[in-house]
Structure 1
Amino acid sequence: MSTISRRFQRFVGRMHTEERGDVPGWVLVTLMTAGLVIVIWTVAGPALSGVFEQAIARVTSF
């Protein structure tokens, strides 16, 4: 086996062990994002509905 292929195998092995990820962290980020979407939707939902209804009314009045 050549020196380059051994170096490459060691490099790939290091990357694999370093890139395992943080599952609890990603779960927390996902839950916090979902919470923010729910809060923003609750606050902005009625305003967005009003804007949408006004736009539809203008389009259908032509």
Structure 2
Amino acid sequence: MRAFAYLFAALSALSDRMAGEDPERGDVPGWVMVTVMTAALVLAILAVFQEAIVTAVTNALNSVTGAGG
């Protein structure tokens, strides 16, 4: 009888999860929008400041590796 109670509880929890709103479930479209907007911002910043970013990264790498003057 105890096994039946466990099975019933598991099936009931599964039914509730499938039928109702689950507070643990994430907002997938929202996260997709955030990711796409972040990528768009990175591309916009890169398009405007590409030369400055490349120069800064090159200088930083040269100073770390000792390749710079």
| TM-score normalised over the length of structure 2 | 0.49
Q: Which residue of 1 aligns with 2:53?
A: 48
Q: Report the Cα offset of residue 51 of structure 1.
A: 1.6
Q: Which runs of 5+ in 1 are unaligned?
A: none
Q: Which runs of 5+ in 2 are unaligned?
A: none
Residues 34 and 56 of structure 1: CA distance in aligned 2, closer, same or farther (over 3 Å): closer
Identity %: 32
For these two proteins, the number of residue pairs brought into alignment is 62
Please give the residue correspondences for 1:5-44 in structure 2 after superposition, counting only pairs within 5 Å: 5-17=7-19, 18=21, 24-44=29-49
Runs of 4+ aligned structure 1 residues displaced above 6 Å come to none
Q: Report the Cα offset of residue 44 of structure 1.
A: 4.3
Take 2:37 and 2:16, find their aligned partners in 1: how far apart are those partners? 31
